Amino acid sequence: MSTLDRAAVAARLSGFERRAVDLPDARAAAVAITIAERDGRHGIWLTKRPATMRRHAAQYALPGGRLDPGEDQPTAALRELHEEIGVQLPAGSVLGMLDDYPTRSGFVITPVVCWSDGSHVPAPNPDEVAQLFFVTFDELMVEPRFLTIPQSDRPVIQLPIVGALVHAPTAAVIYQFAEVVLRERHTRVDGFEQPVFAWR
């Protein structure tokens, strides 16, 4: 599973019936799952946030953030991708979206799947990115881990990637991408919990 062409990804996303979430008091946000190629292998970019950030410091995240007034989810995801890691993609690079994921901190995150043609070299913004990782499709095929916590009856999902444990919401979003796009399984992830440290 080291490579997959754009048409195949688009077809798998178009065959997936994504679920939108409408929570009136939640803030809308979007993240970019950007498929790129390096050394002949496809993967996605993942960041680690600086320890100095006010919210969700030192956590692993996909490039993304809240929607600005008048923006839709694809526009916001592409803007955040450019602001965070210096990759500017056109609107036509968006291949589809996955399920909305409501977070404990009051957001509804929409994952936007994009395609980079290979000519884009990331230039991370140090104010927003402490580390940038290229996670190959092979690495994304890892089996998730599930924990139980006393604060919730839902399992906490972890992905053992980039030499660490990545938690929800990022882990849930990436796991659904792997399921839908890489494994061709229409798996839902809204039943997966976040660790307590990510609730704030």
Q: Classify residue 1: in a domain, yes or no.
A: no
What per-residue confidence (pLDDT) applies to 10? 97
We report the CATH number of the domain holding residue 43 as 3.90.79.10
Q: Is residue 77 part of a domain?
A: yes
Q: Is residue 175 part of a domain?
A: yes
Q: Tell me how far CA of residue 150 lies from CA of 78, 144, 169, in angstroms.
A: 37, 20, 19
Residue 75 tokens, joined: 């526009």
How many domains would you assign to the chain?
A: 1
Residues 6 or more apart whose Cβ sits within 8 Å of residue 65: 29, 30, 76, 80, 83
Q: Are 145 and 157 in contact (CB under 8 A)?
A: yes
Walking along the chain (200 residues) 10 residues at a time, the average pLDDT comes out as 84 97 93 95 94 68 95 98 97 98 93 92 94 96 94 94 94 98 96 84
Query: 15 in a domain, yes or no?
Result: yes
Q: What does the pLDDT read at residue 119?
A: 81
DSSP alpha helix (H) spans, 113-169: 137-140
Residue 41 lies in a domain: yes
Residue 113 located in a structural domain: yes
Enclosing domain of residue 44: 6-198
pLDDT of amino acid 140: 97
**What pLDDT does residue 53 have?**
57
111, part of any domain:
yes
What is the per-residue pLDDT for 98? 98
Bridge partners (DSSP) of residue 109 are 29, 101
Residue 148: other Cβ atoms inside 10 A: 10
Cβ atoms within 10 Å of 28's Cβ, excluding its own: 18
0.85 exceeded by the pTM? yes
Give a yes or no: residue 110 inside a domain: yes
Q: Specify the pLDDT at position 118.
A: 77
